[in-house]
Structure 1
C-alpha cells in the first residue's frame, strides 16, 4: 500500500520523471473512466464495495465537515480552509470539478497531491477493483479517501459531487458537521425537476445528532430540510433564523446569533479574501460551522478561528487575472474570471460586479448545452455592454459560439461570436473591464491559456 507520508505531495513541473508520473496518472484516469459506460450513475453500492476492498479507509479519516448544496460549496470550503489553516491546522480538501488538473480535487494537508502520489493511488485502486463496473467519480472518490486516511491531518473538508443521498462521498457514519449551501434547480436530469426533490437529495448528508448548518433557503427547500432533520434527529441551524451575517461599514462581517446553542454573543470576521456580496453569506455560514465544530472539538476561541478568513483563495470565482499571457492582450483594462454557470450564480455575479466597476462590462462567455443559456444570460444583461461568445475548447457538450451569440441576441444583447479567447480579447471594447464567465470548463481553459494554474 502506498505510504502517502513517504512521497513528495507537492504538484510540480512536468519535466523528466514528473512528466512520466503525470502520464501514468492520466492513463489510469482514462482506464478507470472506461469501466462504466455512464459518466454519472448515482448510488452507493459500488462505492461501499470498493471501499471495503481497500480496507474501509473512510473509517480512518480525520474529523470531517461534509458540504452539499447547489451554489457556493467551493467558496464555503475555501473560507473554512483559510480559517482552519490560520489556526495552524493541517487540512485535507476534496472538491470537484477541477479547473485545469485533476490534482486540484485532492489537497493533502494543504498541498495539491503530486502526480506521482496520484498515479500510485489510482493504480492501487485500479488493481483492487479489477474490471468491476465503477464510475469515474466513484473510483476517484475511493482513491481520495485512501489518500486522506494515509496522510495525517486535523480536518477534512469534503464536498459532494452531485446531490447528497446517493453521492459517493456520502459514506461517513458520523462527520463532525454537515453544511448545506443555497439549493436551486440544477442537474434536474439526475436529481429531479423541482427544488423539493433536489432538496431532499441534498439533505441526505445529514446525520443523527450531528449539527447541520444551512444557508438561507427558499421556503420549499427549507421545509424539506427541516422535515428531514426532524425525521432523523439532526441538529439543523439555519442562516437568518439561528444566525445572521451582515457587512459592516468597514468591510468586515458581523455575525449575530439568535440561537444560544451556537453562541451567546456576536462574532466579527475580517474582510473576506473572496470578492462579491454573496461571500458575506458564504463566509458567515463557513465561520459559524467552523466556530461550532472547532470550538467543540478543539476548544478554540472564535476570534482565533476567523482570523485567517482574509487569506481565502478560490480560483475561477471572481478572480482577477493580475498577470499571465492573456493579460498582455488587454493591458489597459482589468480582466476578471468567474465560473458561474446557472441563474443563481449569474445573479450573484451581477450583484458583485458593481463593487469592482460601477458601469458596463465586456462579457466574454461560453456555456454547455445542458441548460437554456438564456437563464444565465438574462441576469448578465444588466451589466453587459459588448458580449463575445466562445465555443469551449475540448468540450463536446459546449454550445457553439454562434449558438450562444444567437441566444444572447434573442434576449436583446449585442453579441457576436469569437474564434478564441485571444481573438475575443483582441476585439474587446477597451473602454470597459472584462468578465469571462458561463462555465467552469471555460474558467479552466482560461487559466490554462493564461498560464496561471491553481496551486
Structure 2
C-alpha cells in the first residue's frame, strides 16, 4: 500500500460527517464498542490539554521516557506533512500499510453512520495503541477537553494542563473561565493533575475541578517551579532544587514546558525516570515548527548565510507573546533586525496576534496559505497587520515574499520569522525539511 492509498481513505472519512468539528462523545461510543473498546485496553495514559505548549510537553515526556528505556505511544494533532505523524507506536511513526489497514477496519466497522474525521481517526489510533505492546501512552486533546474525542479514557495515570488562553472561539467561546472548564474536563477522579503556568481565572477553575474530584493537583509556582540560571535551568519541587541543561527546543517558554514535563514524571506512579534520562531527553527532544531554525531547503538556499530563518506554527495571541519574548531575549545578547512572513487562518484572532509581534518586527509580507479553504486572503491579512502597527504588504506566494525581502535581508545579519499557522508550517517543512 502507498501513501496515496491512505490519503484516499482519509479523504473518504472526511466526507462521513458534514461538520469538521462537532464537540460531543455520542458518536464515539458505539464505534468503540464495535471494536471491543480499545480505549479500555491501553497502557497507562498521560492525558494533556491546554491552549499552548501541549505538543512541546508531549515531546519532552516522550524523549525523557524513551531515554529511561520505556516504549512510548504518542497521539498528537494536527500533523505537519503526513497524517501518520499523529500516531507513534512504541517510538516509531506508524507505517503506511498498518495505517491503511487500520483505517479500513474502522471504516468498515462504522459503516455509513455519521462520524467526524477526528473521531474516527482517533478511534483508529486507540486501536493501534491497544493492539501494539507499549509501556505508556501520551495523549493530546484535539480541541477543548471535556467533549474532545480523546476524552473517553476513564482512568488516566495522570493528566496535565498547559497554559490556557483564548483560541478556537467559534467552538469554545471567549470567556476564559468557560474555556478552562472545557479543558478541565480531562481531569479524572483520584488521578493526579499537573497544572502548568495559568492565568488566575483559569487556575481557579482548574483547582476547583481537581478538588471536587479528589484529584491531587500539583500547581506551578505553588508546588513546583522552574527558572533559567547561568548554566541551564533550575527545577524546584518536592525533591529540592535541581539544575538541568537548557532544552534543545528554542524559546524562553520552553523552560516552563520542560519543567511541566519534569513535574509530570515526579507524580507519575509506576515509572522511574532518572535525572540522567531527563538530561538526555532535554538534549534529544525534537518538535518541528516550534521555534525551529531552518537549515536546508530552497528558502535557506535563496538567502545569504547571515540570515537566520525561523519557523513557528504559533497562531494565537498567547503564542505570539512567547515568540516575541524569545526574540527579545536573543536581541539582548545578539541584536539583529527581524522580518516577518505570515499566513493565517480566518478562525484566529489575527490582529491580536500581530499586535504581540509588533515590537520585534521591522517589516514583512503576508501571504495566503495555499490550498486551505479557511486561509485569510493576503490582502486582508496585511490590512489587519497594519492595523496592529506592523509595516506589512501582501504577496502572492511565499517565494515572492522571500524574493521581495531578499535585498533587505542581504544588507546585514538578521532574522526572518515565518509564522501564523501550523498548516503553513507543514507546507514549508514539506519543501524545506
Give the alignment's TM-score, normalised by structure 2. Answer: 0.95
Structure 2 stretches lacking a partner, 5+ long: none
Please provide the CA RMSD for this pair. Answer: 1.3
Q: Is residue 290 of structure 1 aligned with residue 265 of structure 2?
A: yes
Contact 1:229 1:235 in 2 (8 A): yes
Question: 2: distance between equivalents of 1:354 and 1:144?
Answer: 40
Report what 1:354 is aligned to: 328
Question: 1: distance between equivalents of 2:33 and 2:202?
Answer: 34
Equivalent residue runs for 1:28-427 within 5 Å: 28-250=9-231, 252-257=232-237, 263-293=238-268, 296-332=269-305, 333-357=307-331, 358-427=335-404
Question: 2: distance between equivalents of 1:347 and 1:24?
Answer: 40
Question: 1: distance between equivalents of 2:327 and 2:128?
Answer: 39
1:74-131 CA distance string (max 9 Å, x none): 0111111111111121111100011111111111111111111111100000001000
SS in 2 for 1:382: helix
Question: 1: distance between equivalents of 2:428 and 2:116?
Answer: 28
Report what 2:430 is aligned to: 448
For residue 410 of structure 1, report the CA deviation from its aligned partner. Answer: 2.3
For residue 355 of structure 1, report the CA deviation from its aligned partner. Answer: 4.1
Question: 1: distance between equivalents of 2:65 and 2:88?
Answer: 14
1:9-30 CA distance string (max 9 Å, x none): xxxxxxxxxxx42122111111
Question: 2: distance between equivalents of 1:435 and 1:148?
Answer: 37
Stretches of 4+ aligned residues off by more than 3 angstroms: 299-307, 354-357
Question: 2: distance between equivalents of 1:111 and 1:154?
Answer: 14
Q: After alignment, is 278-287 or 305-314 more displaced?
A: 305-314
Contact 2:265 2:273 in 1 (8 A): no
Contact 1:65 1:177 in 2 (8 A): yes
Give the alignment's TM-score, normalised by structure 1. Answer: 0.91
Structure 1 stretches lacking a partner, 5+ long: 1-19, 258-262
Question: 2: distance between equivalents of 1:301 and 1:397?
Answer: 45
1:293-351 CA distance string (max 9 Å, x none): 1xx30344444444321211110000011112221111331211001111000000010
For residue 356 of structure 1, report the CA deviation from its aligned partner. Answer: 4.1
For residue 447 of structure 1, report the CA deviation from its aligned partner. Answer: 0.9
Cα 1:40–1:412 shift into 2, 3 Å: same
SS in 1 for 2:267: helix
Report what 1:5 is aligned to: none
Question: 2: distance between equivalents of 1:324 and 1:75?
Answer: 24
For residue 193 of structure 1, report the CA deviation from its aligned partner. Answer: 2.3
Contact 1:291 1:305 in 2 (8 A): no
Question: 1: distance between equivalents of 2:16 and 2:85?
Answer: 23
> How many residue pairs are counted as aligned between the two chains?
424
For residue 418 of structure 1, report the CA deviation from its aligned partner. Answer: 1.6
For residue 354 of structure 1, report the CA deviation from its aligned partner. Answer: 3.3
SS in 2 for 1:334: strand
Contact 1:287 1:306 in 2 (8 A): no
Question: 2: distance between equivalents of 1:245 and 1:366?
Answer: 33
